[in-house]
């Protein structure tokens, strides 16, 4: 499988990701897009909602120097493919990723995951305890906690004309920057002015009915019963765990993240990322890497 070259200093993190070759893998009822960077122990990246693999762009130049980085786009988002019959539930997403690892001949690997992707990563770790060595969780769902507006949007995504309504909202600058939209993405609100940040997530959904349908299908697949059961399942995760949390996030409050960290029975560490909200991997990549690299590099898989 061709691997993207990360040694070219002329590349920005954005161009490095965008120009990387996309590999498609048909798994069950969907086709997963994968971009591969670097060489070394396997590191699988699982994005959250409503973004895609692009969210990891600022971490890849550093991590690809030490790891073979597999950056997936989950079905429903990014460059993956899906149909009206695709199962978007967390369990189905995790099951497909377990089969993807086998398809790629990845015997052992570590996971770095964010938001809904970190719930999927927890399920995957429970499915493959003998394969997953380290698990990095960034701002994610919390048992018995519901982020503002999400359940309302899940209900709305089942109503007539929902696609037209969501497209209107995504075009509205006030909505996008509000707490009802993407306002919790960044602590530094100036980041909303840089088109490299939100635009790659918004434009495809605005201009492509297929991409918008995928985004809404993924949204409907968010399963809160799975999230709530994690309160019991966390203790069964055998991998070493690092939780990195943007401490300004109101979607997943940091104090609840600290409480959740105590549910893990394995070696688990919780780190607050200051001056960051829901997307610390984009807002404070330097701080994320400061904790991420030593954790992953110690006793490499």
Cα–Cα dist 74/53, whole Å: 8
Task: Read off the tokens for 2.
Answer: 């061709």
Residue 8 is predicted with a pLDDT of 61
* pLDDT of 10 strictly over 80: no
Question: What pLDDT shows up at residue 266?
Answer: 77
In total, the chain counts a number of residues equal to: 301
Query: Residue 80 belongs to what domain range?
Result: 13-146+223-297
- Helix residue spans in the chain (DSSP H): 13-18, 60-63, 90-103, 116-127, 150-156, 162-171, 173-177, 195-207, 209-221, 224-233, 254-261, 280-283, 285-297
Distance from C-alpha of 278 to C-alpha of 138, rounded to nearest angstrom: 8
Q: Report the number of distinct structural domains present in the chain.
A: 1
Kindly give the pairing relationship between strand 240-246 and strand 132-138.
parallel
Res. 9 pLDDT band, cuts 50 70 90? low
pTM for the whole structure: 0.96
Question: Which are the contacts of 29, defined by CB distance < 8 A and separation ≥ 6?
Answer: 82, 83, 85, 86, 87, 92
How many helices (H) and strands (E) would you count in the chain? 13, 8
Instruction: Note whether residue 258 is domain-resident.
Output: yes
Q: Does residue 69 belong to any structural domain of this protein?
A: yes
- Domain assignment present for residue 125? The answer is yes
* Cβ atoms of residues 60 and 6 within 8 Å: yes
Which CATH number do you get for residue 73? Answer: 3.40.50.1820
- Residue 4: what pLDDT? 72
User: From CA 26, how far away is CA 183, in angstroms rounded?
Assistant: 35
The residues with which 43 forms a beta bridge, in sequence order, are 69, 110
43 domain residue, yes or no:
yes
Which pairing describes strands 23-27 and 109-114: parallel, antiparallel, or unpaired?
unpaired
How far from each other are the two terminal CA atoms of the chain, in whole angstroms? 20
Tokens representing 51 are 């973004």
In a domain, 65, yes or no: yes
Could you tell me if 262 and 155 are in contact, meaning their C-beta atoms sit under 8 angstroms apart?
A: no
Q: State the residue for tokens 């966390």.
A: 234
Find out whether 58 and 282 touch, Cβ atoms under 8 Å. yes
* Residue 301 clears pLDDT 70, i.e. is over it: no
Q: Residue 300 above 60 pLDDT?
A: no
Q: Decide if 158 is inside a domain.
A: no
> Over 70: is that where the pLDDT of 1 sits?
no
163: how many CB neighbours lie within 10 A of its CB? 15
Residue 173 lies in a domain: no
Residue 290 in domain? yes
Q: How far apart are CA 272 and CA 135, in angstroms?
A: 17
User: What pLDDT does residue 7 have?
Assistant: 64
Mean pLDDT estimate for the chain: 96
Q: What angle do CA 296, 44, 39 make, to 5 degrees?
A: 70
């Amino acid at each position: 499988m061709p691997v993207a070259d990360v040694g070219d200093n002329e590349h920005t993190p954005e161009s490095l990701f965008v120009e990387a070759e996309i590999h498609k893998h048909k798994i069950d009822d969907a086709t997963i897009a994968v971009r591969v960077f670097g060489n070394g122990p396997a590191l699988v990246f699982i994005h959250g909602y409503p973004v895609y693999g692009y969210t990891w762009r600022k971490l890849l130049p550093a991590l690809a120097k030490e790891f073979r980085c597999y950056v997936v786009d989950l079905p429903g988002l990014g460059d993956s493919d899906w149909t009206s019959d695709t199962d978007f539930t967390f369990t189905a997403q995790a099951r497909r990723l377990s089969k993807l690892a086998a398809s790629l001949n990845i015997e052992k690997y570590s996971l770095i995951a964010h938001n809904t992707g970190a719930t999927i990563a927890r399920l995957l770790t429970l499915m493959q305890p003998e394969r997953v060595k380290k698990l990095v969780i960034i701002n994610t769902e919390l048992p018995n906690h519901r982020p503002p507006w999400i359940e309302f949007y899940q209900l709305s995504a089942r109503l007539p004309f929902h696609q037209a309504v969501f497209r209107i909202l995504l075009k509205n600058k006030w909505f996008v920057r509000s707490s009802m939209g993407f306002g919790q993405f960044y602590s530094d609100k100036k980041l909303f002015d840089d088109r490299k940040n939100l635009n790659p997530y918004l434009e495809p959904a605005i201009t492509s009915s297929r991409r918008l349908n995928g985004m809404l299908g993924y949204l409907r697949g968010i399963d809160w019963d799975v999230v709530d059961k994690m309160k019991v399942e966390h203790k069964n995760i055998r991998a070493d765990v690092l939780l990195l949390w943007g401490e300004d996030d109101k979607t997943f409050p940091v104090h609840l993240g600290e409480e959740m960290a105590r549910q893990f029975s394995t070696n688990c560490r919780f780190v607050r990322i200051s001056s960051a909200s829901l997307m610390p991997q984009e807002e404070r990549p330097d701080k994320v890497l400061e904790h991420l690299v030593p954790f992953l590099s110690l006793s490499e898989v």
